[in-house]
Chain A
Amino acid sequence: MKILGISGSLRRESYNTKLLRAAEELLPAEVEFELYDGLKAIPPYDEEDDGEDAPESVTALREAIAEADGILIATPEYNSSVPGHLKNSLDWVSRPLATNTLRNKPVVVVGASTGAFGAVWAQAELRKVLAAIGARVVDAEVAVGHAPTRFDDSGRLVDENLLSDLEETVEALTDEVRERSLFALTNIRS
């Protein structure tokens, strides 16, 4: 099983990227984890640039999603919503809608913010966007509020309750991936 982590925050010291690293440590040893690092290269969406000659940065993201069995997205909250760049990247991935690589893919959304609420509004909107794209959005949430107080100097998540929430959420994602495989087998046999 392979899980792809996508951070909606681009800066090196991002709390959301640290949250993904914390999730990686909670995954069982047999699960492969890749932290996607190509989001910054993605240009603004333009249908005229899409198709067979889509930008390499876009093709790379589409392929990385196709190769993963499940997706874990950590989002900050910009002005009460999803960061524009993350939304723009997903807009690229969503085309064409009927065959996009997120379709039916199990996805979990988590989030961290420096404020009290842990990006809950951005997370809710991101789940709506992912469902519209056709992803299999797992009903789970981790909201890391007051993020600077939740990680230690080496960037490790140290809040026990949040670690427990994150572990449950990561497990919900891997369970959903397994369930998808079982449904695929059942439907092939019937």
Chain B
Amino acid sequence: MSSTTATQTWVLDPVHSSIGFEVAYNGGTFRGSFREAEARFDGESLAGSAKVASVDVKDENLNAHLQTPDFFDAERYPELTFESSEIERSGDAVTVRGGITIRGVERPVELTGTIGEPITDAYGRERFGLTLVTAVDRTDFGVNWNAPLPSGGNALADEVKLTSELYFVPAEA
């Protein structure tokens, strides 16, 4: 890649980044996020992880349920991870291919989004933004929970959209 982002190693600015999921539930869209995540980017590769224990939804009992073997099984698989195999960039459009691992199961995935050129922020530090989305079938990873509805069908969709709005800052030397 020709961009200036390719000339050094960048790490996630966790405070200004967000990694989340969206899934159709009960006639609407349910959203959640992971508060703790790490990522590294060097132009050629992108790798990151999110802590299952940091999953954040607006109900403490659901937070607790998401940790259990019914969902992410945090005791056995404490992290979700992603590692790229290929990055294609055209202007500010970016496609990242790689493997995502959830519940210990790795599946190939293609993420698409936009990447910005580095800017110097108000504190004199360089940073750039990277937005990526993809969709996965959660049952491919063994995240199978569901509840049949009295009217037929299930409460929770299998397809889950994964969204990440990432800010990178230079890795400390």
Contact of A187 among B63, B67, B69, B78 (CB under 8 A): B78
Q: Which of B64, B76, B145 contacts A98 (CB 8 A)?
A: B64
Query: Which residues A125-148 have CB closer than 8 A to chain B?
Result: 131-132, 134-137
Bin the interface of chain B by size.
10 to 19
- Please tell me if A97 contacts chain B, counting CB pairs below 8 Å: yes
Residue of B nearest to A104 (CB): B75
* Other-chain residue from A134, A135, A136, A180 in contact with B64 (beta carbon distance below 8 A): A134
B143 to chain A, nearest CB (A): 13
Number of A-B contacts (CB under 8 A): 37
Contact at A134–B76, with CB atoms within 8 Å? no
Say yes or no: A183-B69 contact (C-beta < 8 A), given A97-B61, A97-B64, A134-B64: no
A103 at the interface (CB under 8 A from B): yes
Residues of A within 8 A of B65 (CB): 97, 132, 134
Q: Taking the nearest CB of chain A, how far is it from the CB of B144, in angstroms? A: 10
- In the complex, which residues of chain B have a beta carbon less than 8 angstroms from the beta carbon of A134? 64-65, 67-70
Residues on A with beta carbons closer than 8 Å to the beta carbon of B68: 103-104, 131, 134-135
B75 near A131 (CB under 8 angstroms)?
A: no
The answer to whether A132 and B76 have CB atoms under 8 Å apart is no
Give A61 Cβ to nearest chain B Cβ, in Å: 20
For window 82-101 of A, CB contacts with B under 8 Å fall at: 96-98
B66-101 CB mask vs A (1 if < 8 Å, else 0) is 011110000110100000000000000000000000
Residues of A with C-beta under 8 A to B76: 183, 187
Contact residues, A170-190 vs B (CB, 8 A): 180, 183-184, 187
Using a CB–CB distance below 8 Å, which chain A residues touch chain B?
A: 96-98, 103-104, 131-132, 134-137, 180, 183-184, 187
Chain B residues close to A by CB (< 8 Å): 60-61, 63-65, 67-70, 75-76, 78, 145
A-B pairs with beta carbons under 8 Å apart, 13 shown? A97-B64, A98-B64, A103-B68, A131-B69, A132-B70, A134-B65, A134-B67, A134-B69, A135-B68, A137-B69, A180-B75, A184-B75, A187-B78
